[in-house]
Chain A
Amino acid sequence: MKLIETIELSKVYKTVSEDVHALTKINLEIEEGELCAISGPSGSGKTTLLNLIALLDKPTEGDVKLDGVLYQSLSENQRTALRRDQIGMIFQSFNLIPVLSAWENVELALNVLPKETLEKKLGIKTKEDRKKICFKSLEEVGLKGLENRRPNELSGGQQQRISIARAIVKQPKVLLADEPTANLDRKNGEKILEVIGLLNKEKGLTCIYSSHDKLVLDHVRRIIRLVDGRVTDV
């Protein structure tokens, strides 16, 4: 079943001297439960494509459809709500809040959800439920016993795993990972990919990477190659 579709998707960055065509008429389809990577050299537009799918940016032309919903038809609040409820995001630099513990960082993703979503989708009714589900999420990424540690007390790989737990705790439809192994050594990178692979395999979570790391590309089932903002190979 088709989960994500990009339709004639283009993005142009305007600078003082010239217009930079980051993406040009991208047409893609990603099935539910897929594990794929957007790859390409630096400046090829892979992060831009991921940002557009993640609703972190607006296209210059074209559109993205997630589970039948066209982004361009949404208001700003609806875009925020869709991103909040359906999209999990992992960043290259983890982006954790240093003053919060591991589980509190995970909880950040729940704090913003409406009560109805918390109760119906995640079965969270009390503060205790909320804490339990955060702990469970951290356990899924292999951080059992480290829930109360602060980010600076953990390794880079462990920090990235917190960010995965934060992304999956709300049970999104799709997990988008922007260069998730870029700041990690090989061993930690492999662990991260293993965790995401398991989530894809066991839970059927659709996962899309943006990376040119061979480790990542070896790990996925499909690679979407970009060169100069155009798809060259799917």
Chain B
Amino acid sequence: MFKMAFRSLFRYGKRTAITVFAISIGVALAIFTKGVLIGVDLDSTRNLIKYETGGAKVFPKGYFEDMKYFPVDKFIEREEKEEIFKKISELDKDIKFTGEFISSGEVMFYEDPFPASGSVKAIIHTLPYNQEVYEINKDNLEGSWLEKNSDEVVIGSKLADDMKAKIGYYLTIQSRGRDGFLQAFDVKIGGILNTGNPVIDASAVYVDMDFTDSLFELNGGVNSIVFNWGNDIVQTINQTTDKVSIIRAIASSLGDFETYDWEDLSSDLIALQKTKDASSGILLFFLFIIATVGITNTMLMAVSERKNEIAMLRALGYKGSYIKSLFAIEGGLIGAIGAICGAILGLLIVWPCKVYGIDFSSLMGDMDIGYRINAIMYAAIDMKSIILIVLFAFGVSVLSAWIAVRHSSKGEISEIMRRI
């Protein structure tokens, strides 16, 4: 049966080549599309966890609901914070943590050395200079990071671009301290941070917690504690449930605190990803419908050309199931060759997109699409989805051949012969 099916591929060489080509293109496109979408998701999640949410955060009760307004009236006090740090250290040494105070504010800049005077809205991140939760390193930082009790700040690269700011320039920050009083102070730009996370790059100003403790009257208090774990993003994601349950248990045992993991903290992004998944699912569905119709049509034509063979085989005593299997194997072989060629082609397309990325800056400009990525999108090579796409193409080919031959082998043999 295999021999016959295999030889039939070459008997109808042109048809086989066209079908293989069509399947290959479909599979390669599906792998490319899926690779870019997964890459964007992964990059976005990575940038979110690395620079915004960490793996989880603990808030004073009621803070989370108002988080988008950056409330400054709900605090985790110094003693509470230190007790949480102590307990976490005792229970799980893999979990890194830091306190932070986040408030909304305005950055004012003045002509000379700036090209013009003005102000921009910003988010003021008050952090200990020696924090290890957010990933700040020489790859994403120009200049230097915060220093203890220093008035040097680090600002996002997009924010710096907007102001035409350079390292060493002075700014005035106006923000709210504990319970909402307004405070203004001068700082010097010590570093410019380019994270690839547009939210951070466009609005973040990092200041040292020791420097602002008295300015904001924090008294060692913070409005959130951020946690992180694992050596890379995959570990962080995979260990979320375990680590968060530890953090949540400790936090709730020590006071009226609420714990949220990175998914809870990025509901906007998750919603966006779900919408994207649904729309890309529809896109892929239509792609596959077109592929299925194309393959079925080709197989129907192939089968109708060979009705006399079908009739002869049945006249010889071959059962319908044998004949259907014969054509299904042929369809499967075409599908397998097409899917494998498509997978190779898809990988050849996705690989440079993974290494060098696709630059959409001319298309997107400053447009905010909600993802935590900049204009360069990096694709991912996801073997699971590649295998699924290959198997799907193979399955569709087998099924198409089966459906086509099922119709043609129905009825009495003399009837099939009359239809030839």
Contact = CB atoms under 8 A, between A and B. Distances in A.
B414 A108 contact: no
Interface in B314-346: 315-319, 322
Contacts of B11: 98-99
Interface stretch (B72-80, B185-193, B245-253, B305-313): B305-313
A83 B313 CA distance: 11
A84 B4 contact: no
A81 interface: yes
Given A56-B412, A56-B414, A57-B413, A108 B7 contact: no
Nearest to A47: B414
Contact of B317 (A58, A84, A99): A84
A95 interface: yes
Contact of A95 (B4, B308, B322): B308
A24 interface: no
Given A81-B317, A109-B316, A112-B318, A95 B311 contact: yes
Nearest to B319: A80
Contact of B316 (A47, A57, A99, A108): A108
A108 B312 CA distance: 10
Interface residues of A, number: 25
B4 A99 contact: yes
A112 B10 contact: no
A139 interface: no
Contact of B414 (A51, A97, A166): A51
A140 interface: no
B309 A57 contact: no
A29 B357 CA distance: 82
A85 interface: yes
Contacts of B316: 84, 89, 108-109, 112, 166
Interface string A112-139: 1100000000000000000000000000
A99 B8 contact: yes
A30 interface: no
B412 A58 contact: yes
Given A93-B308, A95-B311, A95-B312, A100 B317 contact: no
A182 B412 CA distance: 23
B63 to A, nearest CB: 74
B7 A99 contact: yes
B415 interface: yes
A56 B413 contact: yes
A163 to B, nearest CB: 9
Contacts of B313: 108
A113 B316 CA distance: 9
Contacts of A166: 316
Nearest to B9: A99
B315 A54 contact: yes
A108 B7 CA distance: 15
Interface string A86-113: 0001010101011110000000110011
Contacts of B309: 95, 97
Contacts of A97: 4, 309, 312
A137 to B, nearest CB: 14
Nearest to B312: A95
Contacts of B4: 97, 99-100
Given A56-B412, A99-B11, 4 more contacts: A83-B315, A84-B317, A109-B316, A112-B318
Interface of B: 4, 7-8, 10-11, 308-309, 311-313, 315-319, 322, 412-415, 417
A-B pairs, top 3 by smallest CB distance, nearest first, are A84-B317, A99-B7, A95-B312
7 contacts: A51-B414, A54-B315, A99-B4, A99-B7, A99-B8, A99-B11, A166-B316
